[in-house]
Structure 1
Amino acid sequence: MLGRCLYRQMFASYKLITLTANHNILSYSYKASVIRVNGSLNKLDLCLHRSYSEKSKIEDVTVDFEHVKKATSNDNVYIIDVREPDEVKEYGSIPNSVNIPLGSVTPALSTMSDDEFAKVFKRQKPSENTEIIFYCMIGKRSGMAQQNAINLGYKNVKNYLGSWTDWAHKTQ
């Protein structure tokens, strides 16, 4: 084996959404690379390379109470509650929503088969173009779930910024 080297380069892609002070949203896509030689880590390229950037409107990635209220009667829109089951039990949930805790969002939307998704969540697995609205208690965890879904290739994901707190206040 002297003089021979097994070489493999792996890439990881990341998409980052940033909300600026003037409510513009900047979307960046990055690619990082890791090189393995003979199965061991040889070089880690820590420099992230931006491959594109575009401006989006906040309305494109967030929704308000009225939008969510209409979505509750539309079976083509997925409303996903990323709170833990105990929180859902204690506080309640938005009608027609599916509870997928934050830690389970990525596996459910990526590696879970269509049949398994349907069996567990009683709905078809969403396609990459399906409108998905994430919510939690105040909008922070749902923003993380939204970012995870974007990284998985879902194109029409939204965050309900007011989340359960806003919903409960406006439906009393």
Structure 2
Amino acid sequence: MLALARVIRRILPSSSSCQTIRAAGATNIKKCLKRFNIPCIFRYAPSSHLPSINIVRSYSVQVNLEDLTVDYDYVKKATEKSSTLIIDVREPHEIVEHGKIPNSVNIPLGNVSPVLGTMTDKDFEEVYKRPKPAEDTEIIFYCMIGKRSGMAQQNAINLGFKNAKNYLGSFTDWAIKSQ
């Protein structure tokens, strides 16, 4: 929508006769945002008379950080459950070098969205020897220290997976505690 305001600014000259039309364009953006219940704050910069839009994301339910992260003990128990999918988002050479958590599948970070989003159920099961997760399946992501797994978790949440979790300590924590 901000792009639309930029288009309006570029198309219409800044002469006083066009200021009304430019303002009308900004007003239409406001109406459009209100119509779709997108909360926003408009501020007008005195030099350009174009709105600066800050869109605020609102959630219907308060998200609890503890529900989104897991620890060593939780993951250890999850390795014994076939209903939980544990995904290692490291590159294959890292797994060869350092090892992996038992019963986990390797889907490198760059492939998480395509695999979970567009890969067919049949192809997923063929490649990973497990059923493709449903939107309510518990998925635990891990990497080496927890950063890439957090990005993978966010990708999964954006794809509609409601029970995606991040193992914050990831493989570094696993290796230390499982000795």
State the TM-score, normalizing by the size of structure 1: 0.71
Relative to its length, the structure with more helix (as a share) is 2
Equivalent position of 1:116 in the other structure: 123
Match of 2:164 among 157, 160, 163: 157
Matched, 1:148 2:155: yes
Task: Note the alpha carbon deviations across 1:89-143, whole angstroms, 9 max, x for none.
Answer: 1000000000000000000001000000011111110000000000000000000
Higher strand share: 1
Percent identical across equivalent pairs? 65
Task: Tell me the distance in 1 between the aligned counterparts of 2:57 and 2:174.
Answer: 37
**Unaligned regions of 5+ residues in structure 2, if any?**
1-37, 40-51
Asked if residue 61 in structure 1 is aligned to residue 79 in structure 2, the reply is no
Task: Select which of 117, 122, 128 maps to 2:135.
Answer: 128
After TM superposition, the structure 1 stretch with the greater mean CA deviation from structure 2, 46-55 or 78-87, is 46-55
Q: Does 1:99 align with 2:100?
A: no
RMSD between aligned residues:
2.0
What is the CA distance between 1:51 and its match in structure 2? 4.1
> Which is greater in Rg?
2
Q: Distance in 2 between matches of 1:52 and 1:74?
A: 31
Give the corresponding residue for 2:25: none
Paired residue secondary structure (1:127): coil
Task: After superposition, give the CA deviation of every residue in 1:4-52 in whole Å (9 maximum; x if it has no partner).
Answer: xxxxxxxxxxxxxxxxxxxxxxxxxx89xxxxxxxxxxxxx97535343
**Structure-1 separation of matches of 2:75 and 2:99:** 16
Query: Do residues 138 (structure 1) and 140 (structure 2) align?
Result: no
**Structure 1 residue 57: Cα displacement:** 2.0
The residue type paired with residue 70 of structure 2 is: V
Q: Does 1:166 align with 2:155?
A: no
Normalising by structure 2, we get a TM-score of 0.69
User: Equivalent residue for 2:92?
Assistant: 85
Count of matched residue pairs: 131
Unaligned runs of at least 5 residues, structure 1: 1-29, 32-44
Cα distance in 2 for residues equivalent to 1:47 and 1:59: 28
How far apart in 1 are the matches of 2:113 and 2:127?
Answer: 15
